[in-house]
């Protein structure tokens, strides 16, 4: 299982802040996890269409090609603006 956390507008769009996911063996990177989740359709496709989506694995900011494995915590952050 991978613990997935959602922040900001993603949390609002999905109506949840986290979930446990048991992805297929083909999910080995943050990008493939994102694609797996987005394939669920609405509202999950927000993960696949978010521009500049950021991610963390086990609380370390990583790129989309970072590896993921069972037991990891993966967090997705949409781009945020402030001022």
Model pLDDT for residues 43-70, shown as the tens digit of each residue:
998 888 777 899 999 999 999 999 999 9
Residue 14: which domain range? 2-77
Q: What is the pLDDT of residue 81?
A: 55
Q: Which residue in 75, 76, 68 sits closest to 1, CA to CA?
A: 68
Q: What is the pLDDT of residue 49?
A: 79
The per-residue pLDDT of the chain, averaged, comes to 92
Mean of pLDDT values over 64-79:
94
- Count how many domains the chain has: 1
Q: Does any domain span residue 82?
A: no
Does pLDDT of 23 surpass 80? yes
What is the CATH number for 41?
3.10.20.30
Q: Does any domain span residue 34?
A: yes
Distance between CA atoms of residues 50 and 54, nearest Å: 9
Q: Which two tokens stand for residue 17?
A: 């802040």
DSSP 63: -
Q: Does any domain span residue 83?
A: no
Q: Does any domain span residue 58?
A: yes
- Alpha-carbon dihedral angle through residues 74, 60, 54, 5, given to the nearest 10 degrees: 30
């Amino acid at each position: 299982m991978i613990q997935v956390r959602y922040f900001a507008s993603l949390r609002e769009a999905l109506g949840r802040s986290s979930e446990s996911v048991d992805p297929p063996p083909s999910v080995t990177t943050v990008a493939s996890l994102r694609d797996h989740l987005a394939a669920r359709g609405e509202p999950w496709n927000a993960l696949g269409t978010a521009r500049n989506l950021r991610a963390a694995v086990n609380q370390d900011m990583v790129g989309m090609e970072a590896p993921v494995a069972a037991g990891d915590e993966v967090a997705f952050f949409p781009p945020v603006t402030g001022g």
